[in-house]
Amino acid sequence: MERVRVLVVDDSALVRKLMTTMLACDPEIEVVGTAADPLIAREKIKLLNPDVLTLDVEMPHMDGLTFLENLMRLRPMPVVMVSSLTVQGAEVTLRALELGAVDFLAKPSSDLANSFGQSAQEICAKVKQAATARPRARTAVRKLEVPPRLSADAVLPRVQTSGTRGGSPIIVIGASTGGTEAVRVVLESMPPDAPPILVTQHIPEAFSGPFAARMDRCSAMRVCEAQDGQPIQTGHAYIAPGSHHLLVMWDGAKYVCRLHDGPPVNRHKPSVDVLFRSMAASAGVGTIAVLLTGMGDDGARGLLELKQAGAATLVQDEASSVVWGMPGAAWKLGAAAEMLSLDHIAARLLALARQPHDGVSRT
């Protein structure tokens, strides 16, 4: 069956070579060409008609963001940004996602060949998932040697919910591919006195802080990167650090954020399943949970546990998702009571928060 055709755009000859070598090792991917700058890339897109573009941020003649903006206006196609692991690189990458990029790769700042080589599996997976952002026939998933997949049990054993302790309900959000923009749409629609919100977004450690700062600028809520022991307050949103799982625990008289440096769950750290399970155990029916766009199924089982604990559960619909993996998996499990387009999710979360939560599931 047809392979995913990729054009690699980067001003670094070393990066072009490394990307080409790693992508070419996957039988489901064909590297149809490379380009050293956007002007060359523009001509090669016309000539080669690739399915996916990997795009560097800083390049001669035209920066990656300008090229991306023009591309999405004139010839929309799946683009995976390649950005340095720096604060500046994180800000630019988040802007690229706003402009329409599907996902991004973190470019190491040192020991490029070895660091990129260790990420070969992730690079191939991101390129293939980017191709699924447009309907197309897919080949079978390649069987790769991968680490064992751990469930949330590796971080937090499942226990019987103790029920809500009263007070404001807590909203929890899980997201991955396409989620940085989906989370922004939800948060910017929230009033300053909205119920507390906790977000687990699959994102590297260097990007979670800038992501939280960007969300703080666009939302009337106070948005920050979560810290261990931080009290959970109305009008505040907490973003999971890219280096730790985020949990919610009851600490005497209040709910607090807890950070856990455990192993990846569903190959993600932070993991949505971990956040959702902690809410099922500590708050139960006092929880409102939504699973947004993302590849894979992290969060699907956690959402089911929350529904079984009496929480209100929602997923984003396929039409408004970049990749309907995580919400689709949850929907198929019967974990969500409702499925909504992204534009209607914030209003529904607020409506659910105004309903009484007396131990009966709000549907």
Q: Where are the alpha helices (DSSP H) in 188-288?
A: 205-218, 272-282
How far apart (Å, rounded) are the C-alpha atoms in residues 363 and 264? 32
Q: What are phi and psi of 200, to 5 degrees?
A: -110, 110
Q: Using the structure block, give the residue that is written with the tokens 């009033």.
A: 191
How far apart (Å, rounded) are the C-alpha atoms in residues 162 and 282? 6
Who's near 26: CB < 8 A, 6+ residues apart?
124, 128, 142
How far apart (Å, rounded) are the C-alpha atoms in residues 147 and 87? 29
Q: What is the CA radius of gyration of the chain?
A: 20
Catalytic annotation, pick one of 298, 317, 320, 357? 298
How far apart (Å, rounded) are the C-alpha atoms in residues 206 and 186? 23
Catalytic annotation, pick one of 26, 51, 202, 245? 202
Residue 176 known to be catalytic: yes
DSSP string, 67-98: HHHHHHHHS---EEEEEESSHHHHHHHHHHHH
Measured over the CA atoms of residue 179, residue 185, residue 190 and residue 192, the dihedral's sign is: positive
Catalytic annotation, pick one of 10, 51, 83, 176? 176
How far apart (Å, rounded) are the C-alpha atoms in residues 35 and 45? 10
Q: Which positions are catalytic?
A: 176, 202, 298
